[in-house]
Amino acid sequence: MEAILLVGGQGTRLRPLTLNTPKPLLPTAGVPFLAHQLARARSFGVRRIVFATSYRASMFAEAFGDGSAFGLSLEYMTEETPLGTGGAIRNAAQALTCGPDAPVLVLNGDILSGHDITEQVALHVSRGAALTLHLTEVDDPTRFGCVPTDEDGRVTAFLEKTPNPVTNRINAGCYVFTRSAIDAIPAGQVVSVERETFPGMIDAGELVLGYADRSYWLDVGTPAAFVQGSCDLVLGRMPSGALPGPCGEFLALPEARVSPRAKISGGTVVGPRAVVGADAVVRGSVLDADCVIESGATVAGSVVGAGARVSSGAVLRDAVIGDRAVIGAGNELLAGARVWPGVTLPPRAVRFSSDV
């Protein structure tokens, strides 16, 4: 089976992490985020994937090459100007080799999902659908595409980010298209599948199905969700064939140096050559390559970028520290604080609780 992987977004909600790295390539549980998606796709029978790229497009080929390391064949299609979700799918479809009646899997490059792709495809094929959407239930559906269905599983509407949702079932970002339905999307134009393609197919009477389940699902588009996703992978809450080590309270990557007196828990990743000093406390965090957490520092629910330093006595809670930044002793960064790459906060600076 062939698939299209949407990875063109700029990841603005994750800045400064995405200033130099596309969101789907951010280190997540020890490997680029997409490595987990590629491993899952391969486990469900996908053998060829076309990347729909735009932002820093060349970095994807540099990271994954021809895909042979994953047992896949990878192609890369780049939009010269962003074409929206529908335009990106249509542009990438030029590289597909399947016929008009074949199912094509479409994945979003910022979703962690434990649902059974084989079952979703089987439902699509058995019912002869034009499109089958993976649906999941969330507590707050106002932030997503709300998708009501009838008793036969047929999608009756697609309501993108409505303030008064009629159901808590939302678009979970994994689609199975019949190839001919993709070819019907206008080529070379900016098209939104959420606002144009999906509602248009429903209005035209085409068979659009919902495949609903309650398996693990997470949109990793925010710093808090990104950290949660990485920790859930390390803890084994979301299985992945790409995890570079056993599940546990923390994952230490090659050449990481962790003091036996440090307290590390909650699915923390300690990146390559990173250092965690004695009496440091690190809970549920992502420590990137070559960063240093000095003795006595506290890091919780946070991301510490490559080459950054958190000094003794500093406290981070739900913070994002950019590459090569230095957090001096005595600083306390809380509740979504972000420090841009290369910034130095001198010792005993005032408390920060917003972007720095």
Q: Residue holding tokens 């600076």?
A: 349
- What is d(CA 236, CA 267) in angstroms, rounded to the nearest whole number? 9
Residue type, 53: T
Buried b (16+ CB within 10 A) or exposed e, 324-343: bbbbbbbbbbbebbbbbbeb
Residue 176's Cβ-count burial label (10 Å; 0-12, 13-18, 19+) is buried
Residue 201 CB contacts under 8 Å (≥ 6 apart), including other chains: 130, 131, 181, 208
Q: How far apart are the first and last CA of the chain?
A: 46
- What is d(CA 311, CA 296) in angstroms, rounded to the nearest whole number? 8
| Residues carrying an active site annotation | 161
- What is d(CA 227, CA 205) in angstroms, rounded to the nearest whole number? 41
Beta-strand pair 257-258/298-300: unpaired
- What is d(CA 260, CA 112) in angstroms, rounded to the nearest whole number? 32
